[in-house]
Amino acid sequence: MKTFNRFSKGFGPLVNVLFLLSVFIVGCNKQDFTPDRFKENINGPDKKCMVIHKGTIHLQGFTRFGFYAKKGHIVLSDPALNALECTAELTFGEKQSFVLKTQEFMPGNILYRELSFKGKMMPGGEVKFSFPYTYTELDMATMELVEVNVGPLPEIRLHTGCVLYGPGINKNTLNYTGYFRHGKFLAESHFVGHQEVPGVLPFLAEIVEGPIMINFMVDLVEIPE
């Protein structure tokens, strides 16, 4: 497997897939989306629910990507539409630990990215984990999976043209919080971008003034046996 540890002429795997995803938001009704969508009930339906699991659970759903310009209240990318299909295995370990292994697919059932999240799950089902520094991703130039070993932030910065900050940013990666209850796994990373230069992504090709609220989401449900 090849290793992807630098960027070539400003184009990497992330921008290619987000470019494809951005096609789906063209012509959508932006009034249907508000910044409140970045503040959905991440604590889940029942904080008193005690989650006791062992072994491995299989899930399916989507990873979602939302961008919202605070100035002018403009939806740049609606996470309800800007999404990748995702399958996952959730394996429970000792001392409230878990590993969530995901595979994300582009349209056409093309494997785009494989990730292995390691995190903690509280007795009530609350989860916390970080985006891994090392993972595999599709190189659009060669259509081969390559190893990325610099974490997600350098690529996000490069292709958005943004300085990134906020609660979801920590030690050059993204922090996620959420829950797993009643077969539903939902976790989000909320952070803010301030665009300094034009981005490669189509909806950031021109500089957006003011803060850009960014939301990356893992939105899965358990597959019945």
pTM of the shown model:
0.81
- Is residue 101 within 8 A of residue 91, CB to CB? The reply is yes
The Cα–Cα gap between 13 and 202 comes to 15
The Cα–Cα gap between 88 and 102 comes to 4
Q: Locate tokens 């081969």: which residue?
A: 144
pLDDT at 194: 97
pLDDT at 36: 53
pLDDT at 3: 44
Q: Can you read off the two tokens belonging to residue 151?
A: 């974490």
The Cα–Cα gap between 139 and 118 comes to 24
E strand intervals along the chain: 2-4, 56-69, 74-77, 83-92, 97-106, 110-121, 126-130, 135-139, 144-148, 162-165, 169-170, 173-181, 184-195, 211-222
Return the closest-CA partner of residue 192 out of 213, 173, 175.
213
- Is residue 187 within 8 A of residue 40, CB to CB? The reply is no
pLDDT at 33: 47
Q: What is the pLDDT along the chain (225 residues), one digit of tens a residue?
A: 544 443 333 334 454 455 445 444 333 333 344 455 444 444 554 555 666 678 999 999 999 999 999 999 999 999 999 999 999 999 999 989 999 999 999 999 999 999 999 999 998 999 999 999 999 999 988 999 999 998 999 989 988 999 999 999 998 899 999 999 999 999 999 999 999 999 999 999 999 999 999 999 999 999 987
pLDDT at 172: 87
